[in-house]
Amino acid sequence: MKVLVTGASGFIGRHCVAQLHAKGYEVHAVSSAMRDAPPGVTWHGADLLADGEAAGLVRRIGATHLLHLAWCTQPGKYWTALENFDWLRASLAMIQAFTAIGGKRLVAAGTCAEYDWHGGGICAEATTPLVPGTLYGSSKHALQLQLAAWSRQTGLSSAWGRVFSLYGPHEHPQRLMASTISSLMDGNTATCGNPGLVRDYLHAEDVASAFVALLECELAGPVNIGSGHGVALGDIVTAIGQKLGAVDRVRLPSVSVRGTEPALLVAETSKLALTGWTPKFDLDRGLDDTIAWWRAQPRATLR
């Protein structure tokens, strides 16, 4: 397997690169944020949104497998970023180029934001309505529809991993777990605006291994990537407080102001189970791992 990974320096991609390399595959890692290449991994610096670059890169590298994770992901911005259109266009071009060079298997990252959040609940690939409410969700979903139609037409083997909530080392400091840990470690309080919301959290390393499992099998179409278990956000924040001996500095409002977000958003994971994948971390051990990573960081990066 010669595999091209986009978004290779990202929250999920970094683990995919390491896992694929450890399995002995030839790994070509693409990222706009160039990193030092671990021995045996070839890094390619590229701006996939530049005209023709995504397709050109696919042709130059000539991989048999493509794991496409790159997309706009800046917290607070990506839901509405007009750049979602650029990512959709670049991704379509990559699918075309990969098929043209005879690529064997393509797996790309989708999102639970493709589902209809008016209902929310336990989301199943085959039955939950797909009515994305954001430009991000719509753009991802348009790509999923096109990948499926393209695969039916051309015979390309493909799957689509719908990611739910995730956490772990290297998380963006504005996101819930990272900000909670760093605030409490700094001696500050930590809060959570919507403690009652129930989400499906999976350690980024496990999300990555699910993508690798999808790449290694022949399962087709959308596949939820989640733990299958819901946890209230308030309980996560409290658990972090307990682990850090700082539960007295956790501030949870008694009433949630949840706006348009669904009360419950959990993955139905029976399709994912068909790959044989199992997670390495439960939430308790995943939090320990994440806190250990934060403790090992130089103090300045905590802010």
Which residue, 34 or 148, has its beta carbon nearer to its own copies? 148
54 or 214: whose CB is closer to its own copies?
54
Q: How far is the CB of 87 from its own copies (least distance, A)?
A: 10
Give me the least distance between CB of 51 and its own copies, in Å please: 5
Least gap, CB of 145 to its own copies (angstroms): 5
Which parts of this chain interact with its own copies (CB under 8 A)?
Answer: 51-52, 80, 82, 85-86, 88-89, 92-93, 95-96, 99, 132, 134-135, 138-139, 141-143, 145-146, 148-150, 152-154
Pick 152 or 285: Cβ nearer its own copies: 152
Minimum Å distance from CB 46 to its own copies?
16
- Are the CB atoms for 66 and 16 separated by under 8 Å? no
Q: Are 283 and 227 in contact (CB under 8 A)?
A: yes
Tokens of 78: 């990506």
Cα gap 109→138, rounded to integer Å: 13
DSSP type of residue 221 = E
d(CA 14, CA 30): 10
Closer to its own copies at the Cβ: 124 or 247? 124
**CB of residue 159 to its own copies, shortest distance in Å:** 17
Residue 47: Cβ-neighbour burial (10 angstroms; 0-12, 13-18, 19+)? exposed
Q: Three-state SS for 160?
A: strand
Nearer of residues 150 and 293 to its own copies, judged by Cβ:
150
Q: Write down the least CB distance from residue 234 to its own copies, Å.
A: 31
Tokens of 109: 């990252």
Between 94 and 184, CB nearer to its own copies: 94
Q: Nearer to its own copies by C-beta: 93 or 240?
A: 93
Q: Inter-axis angle of helices 283-296 and 233-243, to 10 degrees?
A: 50
Strands (E), the chain: 2-6, 26-31, 41-45, 65-68, 105-111, 121-123, 157-163, 165-167, 190-191, 198-199, 201-203, 221-225, 231-232, 250-251, 264-267
User: Shortest gap between Cβ of 91 and its own copies (angstroms)?
Assistant: 10
